[in-house]
Amino acid sequence: MKDRTDGKLVHLDGLNLSRAWCLYNIARHAGSNEAAIRGLAKRHLEASLPNVASGDYAGEHWLASFAVYALTAE
């Protein structure tokens, strides 16, 4: 298991969630590439969503906002 108190690691979760959010929004305008881009967004979201509630302040105080953005753009 990775150290969820490591701020650098937690920022990578934030990056994944932010990428998912952006990719879902891009996919809406991607025409025939929509499914592929949505699939990529889903992979980013699934990689970090379980870490939003890690039990440590390093991520819990801000990751949830990016998770909500991604989930509402889905």
Question: pTM of the entire structure?
Answer: 0.89
DSSP codes joined into one string, 5-39: T-HHHHHHHHHHHHHHHHHHHHHTT-GGGHHHHHH
CA-based torsion, 47, 51, 57, 62: positive or negative: positive
pLDDT tens digits along 3-60:
778 888 899 999 999 999 999 999 999 999 999 999 999 999 999 999 999 888 888 8
Q: What is the DSSP letter of 53?
A: T
Q: Supply the range of the domain harboring residue 20.
A: 8-73
Total tally of structural domains belonging to the chain: 1
Return the axis-axis angle of helices 63-73 and 34-48, rounded to nearest 10°: 150
- The answer as to whether 16 is a domain residue is yes
* 2 domain residue, yes or no: no
